[in-house]
Structure 1
Amino acid sequence: MAAGSQPVTRSLAALAAALVLAVTLGTLAAVAWRAEGFAGVGPAARDALWFTLWQAVVSASLSVILAVPVARALARRRFRGRGAVITLMGAPFILPTIVAVLGLVAVFGRSGVVNVALRALGLPEVSPYGPQGVILAHVFFNLPLAVRLVLQGWLSIPAERFRLAASLGMEAGAVQRALEWPMLRSVLPGAWLLIFALCLTSFAVALALGGGPGATTVELAIYQAFRFDYDLGAASVLGLVQFALAGAAAALAWGLARPAVFAGGLGGVVRRWDGGGWLRLQDATVIALAALFLLAPLLAVGLRGISGLAEMPAAVWWAALRSILVALASAALCLALALPMALAARRGLWVQLVGVLPIAASPLVIGTGLFILSYRWVRPDEIALAVTALVNAVLALPFALAALVPAAREMRAGSGRLADSLGMSGWARMRLVTLPSLRRPIGFALGLAAALSMGDLGVIALFADGDTATLPLQLYRLMASYRIDQAAGAALLLLALSLGLFWGFDRGGRAHAGA
């Protein structure tokens, strides 16, 4: 980057990092400072911590274990529509949590197709509520992420290795021992730790499917301590414990989630010769079952929501408008934070450290801290939407940085050097070099931030009233009042808006990206 533009970029990056630190660590410090002792942490909080830990271990383990055969099948098969299958399997990652919960209840609930089939076979029914429901939902959300991480590891093995294995007559078992297991030993620990960290901070899943003494997560306990008991001591201690656990897991994942090191290949398409016969049927079955598990809840929401659209009250439509505005503001703020940090990062270590913090932080602790810092001057419901947009932008920052930092490094090594030699700086460099080079990851980051914000049910649950409720909160209220048809219509609307925002920004970034 040109010398004249470096100080400005570094200053903006420093301001962005300072804001992230203030929102994550600063709000946690505010809650701890305001707490009048920590006597409120009792057996219920310890039970919540224990449940959070063991459900995160089980959820992460199941997600990773199930991801291995799915990723292997996608890695060694080429078929028409493979790209679409991979894209659709990633939909749960940007799916609004409350929509997925409604879809899982429709499929695994008492009147869902799974229990109807089990009753017909005379088998015990399953329940989407309680500990098993929380784990089921976490696997639903995190299995696609695990598949993408493991699949990336498989695709990192050069095609020449598989050609060599085929020329040596190696069977599938020998290929697994020589090529695939070394890669899995490198990729799986990092993937497991990242999903473990995400499951530690779960809120909406536990709020809708958990609760009670046996299925309360730390995040839900923080919500209960603040919303119902106003026990800031318990909230701050639980927030500190969760931050330490999730931060350690995320930091370890960042260091371990790297594919195995293989000698460089020529970059050709990976073609496999070790998957004939019954292995082809096995791979097709695995892909079909995974797609059915991930897409059936979406289909259930769509089918039931069509009839519910006509019955939705006006409050739902106003909530949808508020959600769109919050999502757009959150996406813009997320990009304003991520872009200067990505451009200023050379080796990227400090960016990764700052990027870990939102994964470890509790959105509810952040909201509580912002309330403590502002309640003397403004009513909480008056700033509920602004606070929600800010918190969602910070929470989406790690994913935006993951897309922008590698692209920024590639730009510096290519067109950035040419711009340096021409002495380009300031707005001219940004308009002619930076934005065109980073258009694709910028579009992806904006779409992801908007979709994640659109479906968030976190901070808004603390402070919103009837006039500031977003669409996810309105959907949860419909579910809580057993207005299921209207809830299904609201869920379909939320799903369409979330996917539409992501598609629109992502497509806008990919259009003419090379121009």
Structure 2
Amino acid sequence: MTLTASPRPALAGGFAGLALLALFIGTALSALWLETAGSGFAAFSAVTFAILRFTLWQAGLSTLLSLGFALPVALALARQRRFAGRQMLIRLMAIPLGLPVLIGALGLLGIWGRHGLVNQGLAALGLEQPISIYGLPGILLAHVFFNMPLATRLLLAGLERIPAEYWRMAASLGMGRLAVLRLVEWPAMSRLIPGIAGLIFMLCATSFTLVLVLGGGPGATTLEVAIYQALRFDFDPPLAVSLAGLQLLVTGLLLLIFSLWPAPEEAGLTDQRPIRRFDGEGLAVRLADYLVLLIALIFVAAPLVDIAAAGLKADLGRLLADAAVHRAIATSLAVALPAGCLSVMLGFAFIEARMALQASRSGGRGARALIWLIDAASSLVLLVPAVVLATGWFLLLRRLGEVSAFAAPVVVVINAMMALPFAMRVLQPAMEVHHQRNDRLALSLGLSGFSRLRRLDWPALRRPFFMALSFAMALSLGDLGAVALFGADQLTTLPWLIFARLGSYRSTDADGLALLLGLLCLVFTLLGTAGKQKEEPS
């Protein structure tokens, strides 16, 4: 049984969604292939292999550093369950996950940049040589800023799923910290670490905006940035196509390897379970844990505070009166709203189809294959990066002479695809619970179709739907990857305007615009979660 009386509408919706994605992605990949028909693939040079090597190297280092930082933070949060502000710190760890990447990069520049707080402090101590955030160090720092909180929350979720009896038994046996780590904590974390490492590695290997802003030259360029440069600056389509093919090959192989490990889940992360950690009650242990948590707090919060402070120093009145800013905000909203709606609609269709297939008693290989395809849709953001899709569509539209006319719809669909995994993650638990609780009631009352949707489904699911929509819109608002190739006078979004102001050395304007973008994303997030605590179970 599914949310509809008959599984056919659910299956039809799932097929239609998969067909749309297949058509959109297939068209982009076909355009890439057709571009090589006349000129052939560009030969890979030593520079290309150096770019590939740097892409994998920085992703590996970023993964190690993110996990190395997240492990002690997660262990400290798991041990210290009763200090004031713990829940606030856990929520703070979620902010970088939804923060537009460009805003985070500006915040890191404000702390670690040439004129940032760290270099100002070093100069006050008499050190004249400033720390440079550009190049590999800046890329690693930015990736740790965004991915350490993600790894911390996933590891903490695993630690909090350990039964309370384990801690009482460990205390009764007089186990020390090392014994607890080896026999209790490590088994819970070791099952999660490969999946977390794979996820972070893929996110770093397909990173675009951070490398574009902080890369610092040809020596610190990833495949995605090289694709963008090949089209935007050199206009070398054969090279761009070759790099895009290499990117698809690399991401496909990496996803195949990482699929051998189960994906980590954050479900169950809570602060309310009655667990007492006896190993975290000593004074020395508490001081050490609080020091780790203080370092993590400063590392995550300092760029966020700098974003707000630098934005307030800008001439916001002048920016708000600027017609270019008005157009950029209007364009961003005009792209974000349909992208968010499309992402939620696709997520709803896929989840309904998946539940219908799982409930089918005659599910065979075809049903399992369709379930696999639906699950694979959530990995599209990693398998086919936005820059690769944008490259294919840019080359196709250039052949047709309609780049500017169709740029906005292409960016909308790409942003919807990029937000689809997040929308599905919000919708799926709520829809599955609603399905389990109310399907029999709907059948007994004879509710189906629009009547069921109006009377039973929508009242229970509107909050998850609005939450998924708000998150998808916030992600689309902060996107730079899809619009990077199409950005022009006809399609200037707020992130593209920020990037343009940075490129013209108007950093104060960029700070003010970053604050406006952050506030817009925050507004959508708050609207999507408004009243969540008051929501009653359906």
Query: TM-score, normalized by length of structure 1?
Result: 0.92
> Are 1:329 and 2:332 an aligned pair?
no
Q: Tell me the SS of whatever aligns to 1:315.
A: helix
* 8 Å Cα contact 1:320/1:471 also seen in 2: yes
Deviation at 1:453, TM superposition (A): 0.7
On the 8 A contact 1:27/1:370 being kept in 2, the answer is: yes
Deviation at residue 423 of structure 1 after TM alignment = 4.2
1:113-192 to structure 2, matched below 5 A, reads 113-122=117-126, 125-192=130-197
Match of 1:209? 214
Query: Counterpart of 2:530 in 1: which secondary structure?
Result: helix
Structure 1 window deviating more from structure 2 (18-27 vs 212-221): it is 18-27
Change in Cα spacing, 1:320 to 1:42, as seen in structure 2 (3 Å) is same
Superposition deviation, residue 296 in structure 1: 0.8
Deviations 1:341-398 (A, max 9, x none): 0111145543222211222212122112223444455622223222222111101111
Which residue of structure 2 aligns with residue 320 of structure 1?
329
| Aligned mate of 1:299, from 302, 305, 309 | 305
Deviations 1:201-243, CA, capped at 9 Å, x for gaps: 1111111111422101100011112223333332233223322
Q: How does 1:70-85 map to 2 (within 5 A)?
A: 70-77=73-80, 78-85=82-89
State the 1:486 CA deviation.
1.1
Query: 1:224-272, CA deviations, whole angstroms, 9 ceiling, x for partnerless residues?
Result: 1222333333223322332233344345545524569xxxxxx943321
Q: Which moved more, 1:304-313 or 1:425-434?
A: 425-434
Partners of 2:52 and 2:264 lie apart in 1 by: 32
How many Å separate the matches in 2 of 1:5 and 1:252? 38
SS of alignment partner, residue 214 of structure 1:
helix
| 2:230 maps to amino acid | A
Q: 1:28 to 1:386 in 2, by over 3 A?
A: same
User: 2:167 & 2:26 partners in 1: Cα distance?
Assistant: 48
The one-letter amino acid paired with 1:310 is G
The answer to whether the 8 A contact 2:93-2:150 is kept is no
Flag structure 1 segments of 5+ consecutive residues without an equivalent: 261-266
Other structure's SS at 2:114 match: coil
* Post-superposition CA distance 1:126-178 (Å, at most 9, x none): 21111111111111111111111111111111222212222332222221111
Change (3 A) 1:8 1:38: same
Q: Which residue of 1 aligns with 2:416?
A: 393
What are the within-5 Å matches in structure 2 for residues 75-474 of structure 1?
75-77=78-80, 78-122=82-126, 125-250=130-255, 252-253=257-258, 256-257=261-262, 268-276=273-281, 277-308=283-314, 309-312=316-319, 313-346=322-355, 347=358, 348-375=371-398, 379-474=402-497
Aligned residue in 2 for 1:263: none
1:13 aligns with 2:18: no
Question: What amino acid sits opposite 1:8 in the alignment?
Answer: P
Task: Out of 27-36 and 389-398, give the one that drifted further.
Answer: 27-36
- The reply on whether 1:68 has 2:71 as its aligned counterpart is yes
Q: Percent identity?
A: 41
CA distance in 2: counterparts of 1:258 and 1:272, whole angstroms = 27
- Superposed, 1:43-54 pairs within 5 Å as 43-54=46-57
121-130 vs 156-165, which moves further: 121-130
Gaps of 5+ in 2: 266-271, 359-370
After TM superposition, the score normalised by the length of structure 2 is 0.89
Q: What residue is the counterpart of 1:482 in the other structure?
A: 505
CA distance in 2, matches of 1:121, 1:22: 60
Superposed displacement of residue 55, structure 1 = 0.3
Cα distance change on mapping 1:511 and 1:375 into 2, 3 Å: farther
Instruction: Provide the alpha-carbon RMSD of the alignment.
Output: 2.3
**Shift of residue 307, structure 1, vs aligned partner:** 2.5
User: Relative to structure 2, which stretch is displaced further, 9-18 or 114-123?
Assistant: 114-123
CA distance in 2, matches of 1:238, 1:467: 27
* Residues 1:502 and 2:511 are matched in the alignment: no
Name the CA shift for 1:40/1:470 in 2 (closer, same or farther; >3 Å): farther
Measured in 2, the distance between the counterparts of 1:496 and 1:421 equals: 47
Name the count of aligned residue pairs: 509
C-alpha contact 1:239 1:362 (8 A) present in aligned 2: no
1:446 to partner: Cα distance: 1.6
